[in-house]
Chains A and B, each alone.
Chain A
Amino acid sequence: MSDKTKSWEEINAKLAAGEAVVVTAEEAALMSEECTPKELAKKVDVVTTGTFGAMCSSGMFINFGHPEPPIRMEKLSLDGVPAYGGIAAVDAYIGATEVHPDMSNFGGAHIIENLVSGKEVFLKASGKGTDCYPRKGFEAKISKETINEMILANPRNAYQNYPAACNSSNKTLYTYMGTLLPGCLNVNYSTSGCLSPLLNDPEMRTIGVGSPVFLAGALASVAWNGTQFNTKKPKNKHGIPLSNAATLMLVGNAKEMSREWLRAAYFEHYGVSLYLGVGLAIPVLDEDMAYRVSIKNEDIETTVCDYSQEGHPGLLTSNYAILRSGEIELRNRRARTAPLSSLKKARELAVELKRLVLSNSFPLSPPTMAFSSNTDIKALLSMDQKGRPS
C-alpha cells in the first residue's frame, strides 16, 4: 500500500484511539484553498456532509400489533389520511405525499411527523373478515409507544444535485420547486451545495448498499440505490453531474428520529412533502477522495430549467456560489434566487455528524455492495390503440 492511501481499518483505528481528524465538507472546501488534495488526505480522515430538504419519495412502514379478536386490515387511514394496507394483516405503509381527502394541505408527512414526535394518531381500519381474522373493523388511538415498528423507508432521497427552477410564462406557477413567478423573476434551487452528501463522493467510491447514514436524527442505513438512479448524466470537469443523478434508498428506525430533522411541508397547489435531514460521513482514503470532499460551491454546477415549458428545458448552467448570492443574471435581467433546502440546518447536521463520528457513535464502514455504475432512466411511454408505444 502506498503512503498516500489509508484503509477503512486505519481510519477506524484512529477514531477508536481518539486521534482522527474529522471536518465538515464546508471546512474541507475552505482548507483546500490552502492545501493540495495530497496534503488534505494526510491531514483529514473523515468529512461529514449534510442536507435538510424536501424529499417527497419517503414513507413509513408501521406494524400496529394484533388486536383481539384479530383483523386483517385491508383499508385503513391515520387521522383520515389513507395508508396502504396491502401487506399482511397489521402492516401498513404511509407515503409522505398521501393527502387527506378533505384537507389538501395535510397528509402522510404530517402523520409521520406527529408519530415521530410522540403524538397520538387515530387509526381506522377495516377488513372483510376471514376465518383466521374474524374482525371487520377497528378504531383506536395509536402512538409510537403503542405500536411495534415504525420504519422510515424512503425509495428516493438525497438526490445528487438537482436542477434549479424558473418560469418564463406569464403566470405564476406553484410547484414542488416552490413559487415560480412569471417572466423568470425568480430562480429556486435545492441541495446544500458543497455540503450535499452525494456531491462529496460523486463516483460513490465509499457509498453503497449498507452504508451507515444519518437519517432524521437516527443512525440508519442505505438499503439500495434510490429509484431513478442515473449514472449517465453529463458531468462537469470536476466530475459533478449537471443535474439530478444518483439517489439513495434509505431505511431507519423512525422511533429514534426527531422532529428537529423531520418536518412535514406543504407546497401550494402541489401538495404535501417531507423535509428530512440526511448526512453521510465520508472517509478520506486517498488523494482522489480528498479532492472530491473539498469541492467548492463555485465548482458545483447545475442547470436552471424552465418549468413553464414541456420537458423543463435548461436555460443556462449556473453554480451554487452564484445561486447563493441571491441574484442571477437570466435573459439579460437580474432574477432573485432562493434556496428551498435549509443551509443552516444542513450545516448543523454536518456538525452534529462530526460530533457523532468523533465520539464513535456513528460507524464508518465500507458498503457491502457497490451501486451500479452504468444505469440511466426510462421515460414512461404511452400506447396507441394497437398497444404500440406512441
Chain B
Amino acid sequence: MKRNYVLSYKAENTNEPVIWRLIKDFDLQVNILRAKVSPGQEGSLLVEIDASEAATMDKALCWLEQQGIKCMGVAKRIFWEEKLCVDCGACTGVCFPAALAMDKTDWKLAMDLDRCTACGLCVKACPFGCFRLDFGD
C-alpha cells in the first residue's frame, strides 16, 4: 500500500535520522516528494510511503508519533469546497498524480485525494477558487 504523508517536526527531533530508520527498521520504501525546512526551527516533509502490509505502516506511524513527528495523510491537507464546484474539469489537466480526474460517464470531478502530492497546481488552475492547500503548518 502506497500513501502520501506530510511529516511535520520540530528542531529538537531532527537529530534522529528519521527516513533512514523508517527504511531500515520498518522495511518501508520512502520517497521524498517535497521538503520545507526552516533552519533550526521546524520542517515538513512530503513523503510517499510504500509498505508491504498495513500493519507495518501503522507501526511506523506510531513510532513517528512517539518521536514527536506529526503525520498527516495528504488528503487531509487539501481542501475542496464542493458547493463552489461546477465540474468544469480545469483542475484535472494539471494534476499529474491523477488525484483529480473527470468521470467519463457523468463528467463529474472524481477525486482520489490519497494520490495527492500537495503540488498546489490545482489551487491556481480552478477558476472558482475551490481548492485550498495547507502544507506543513
Contacts and interface: CB of A to CB of B under 8 A. Distances in A.
Interface of A: 52-54, 105, 174, 178-179, 181, 185-188, 263, 265-268, 273, 275, 324, 326, 336-345, 347
A274 to B, nearest CB: 10
Interface in B68-98: 86-94, 96
A32 B100 CA distance: 33
B94 A179 contact: yes
A30 B94 CA distance: 31
A263 B124 contact: no
A275 B92 CA distance: 18
A265 B96 contact: no
A34 B31 CA distance: 52
A268 B102 contact: no
Contacts of A54: 127
B90 A343 contact: no
B52 to A, nearest CB: 30
Shortest Cβ-Cβ A-B pairs, 10 listed: A338-B93, A265-B127, A186-B93, A339-B89, A343-B107, A268-B124, A179-B125, A344-B107, A344-B87, A342-B88
Contacts of A345: 86-87
Contact of A339 (B88, B121, B124): B88
Given A342-B88, A342-B107, A179 B121 contact: yes
Given A338-B102, A343-B102, 12 more contacts: A179-B94, A179-B125, A181-B121, A187-B93, A266-B127, A324-B104, A326-B102, A340-B88, A340-B90, A344-B87, A344-B107, A347-B107
Contacts of A326: 92, 101-102, 104
14 contacts: A52-B86, A178-B90, A181-B94, A188-B90, A268-B124, A324-B104, A326-B102, A336-B93, A338-B93, A338-B94, A342-B87, A343-B107, A344-B107, A347-B107
Contacts of B86: 52, 263, 275, 342, 344-345
Contacts of A339: 88-90, 102
Contacts of A53: 88
A335 to B, nearest CB: 9
Contacts of B104: 324, 326
Interface residues of B, number: 22
A135 B121 CA distance: 50
Nearest to B108: A344
B128 interface: yes
B127 A178 contact: yes
Interface class of chain B by DSSP: loop
A347 B102 CA distance: 15
B94 A186 contact: yes
A345 B88 CA distance: 8
A348 to B, nearest CB: 10
Nearest to A105: B129
Nearest to A52: B86
B94 A342 contact: no
Interface string B98-137: 0001101011100000000000010011011100000000
Contacts of A267: 127
Contacts of B96: 185, 336
A44 B61 CA distance: 62
Nearest to B127: A265
Nearest to B106: A344
Contacts of B107: 342-344, 347
A179 B130 CA distance: 15
Nearest to A265: B127
Contact of B92 (A174, A265, A336, A344): A336
A268 B125 contact: yes
Given A181-B94, A187-B93, A344-B108, A266 B129 contact: yes
Nearest to A273: B127
Contacts of B125: 178-179, 268
Contacts of B101: 326
Contact of A341 (B88, B91, B108): B88
Contacts of B88: 52-53, 275, 339-342
A12 B108 CA distance: 35
A293 to B, nearest CB: 21
